[in-house]
Amino acid sequence: MRSAKVTVTALIRVIYDALQSREQLEGVQQTISRLSALNLDGEKCLPLPPETPLHCQSELKAVVDHIPASLKTIADAFSAAAPYLNWNAETGSRAGYYEAGADVGQSFLDGNLVCRLVGPGDSFFFSEDLFLSLFFLKPRTLYRDHTHQASEMYFNLTGPSGFRLGDEGWVDYPADSVIWNPPSRSHATRVYETPFLSAVSWVSDLDSVCRVAPRDDWQELEAQLQRN
């Protein structure tokens, strides 16, 4: 149990350190300030059971190989903490995340995992004003356009992956990039051959609900990803 507390705490700390060196980027400072307010003492790390759903085990194990040298400290900490992380899949119907009946698509259902590092519940460290999660998507997955009232930061640990932000077209973002989503802006992610891993934070409206923002190209995009 002590190894779990030590390695998970160390992983959060190295993410925090990496964000501090990128604090000039939009949205990063808000996450840093909330992490700074936490007592990241390993003894306060809650004992969540290790869990990795079968549908993503092999891809998740390989994701560390795609974290670039610029994020080596995170890659090393992630490898050390991996046996102790608690991963769960978002089903599209979990209370408090997606609204009931949301059509998130089979691609997302089959290809996502979330590990909650910091948050109000089911997280290694408790916080009332910060969600910090590791978010994983399998290769060739579409995370459909959606909105939420919470402001959000993506600190992408692998890449390239495509993002569609609001009414803008698709743009590919590399590993070691930061994306800031202001409240209620629609956004989507598409993952190519490289598995997607990002440290994602919400710094406001933690009880807000995700809603899909329908687009008429979802099926075409999902089919295209599967062909490539």
**Sign of the alpha-carbon dihedral angle for 45, 51, 57, 59:** negative
Contacts of 172 (CB under 8 A, 6+ apart): 159, 160, 161, 162, 163
Q: What angle do CA 205, 29, 145 make, to 5 degrees?
A: 50
Q: What is the H or E stretch that residue 34 is in? A: helix 28-36
- Fold classified for 2-227: Jelly Rolls (2.60.120)
DSSP state of 20: H
Q: What whole-number distance in Å separates Cα of residue 132 and Cα of residue 205?
A: 13
**pTM greater than 0.85:** yes
The number of angstroms, rounded, from the C-alpha of 45 to the middle of its chain's C-alpha atoms is: 20
Per residue in 200-224, pLDDT (tens digit) is 999 999 988 999 999 999 999 999 9
- Please, what is the average pLDDT of the chain? 93
Would you write out the chain's pLDDT as a tens digit for each of its 228 residues?
569 999 999 999 999 999 999 999 988 999 999 999 999 988 899 989 999 988 899 999 999 999 999 999 999 999 999 999 999 987 654 444 788 888 999 999 999 999 999 999 899 999 999 999 999 999 999 999 999 999 999 999 999 999 999 999 999 999 999 999 999 999 999 999 999 999 999 999 998 899 999 999 999 999 999 987
Q: Tell me the three-class secondary structure of 46-94, residue by residue.
A: CCCCCECCHHHHHHHHHHHHHCCHHHHHHHHHHHHHHHHCECECCCCCC
Instruction: Give domain limits for the chain.
Output: 2-227
Q: Are 105 and 218 spatial neighbours (Cβ–Cβ below 8 Å)?
A: yes
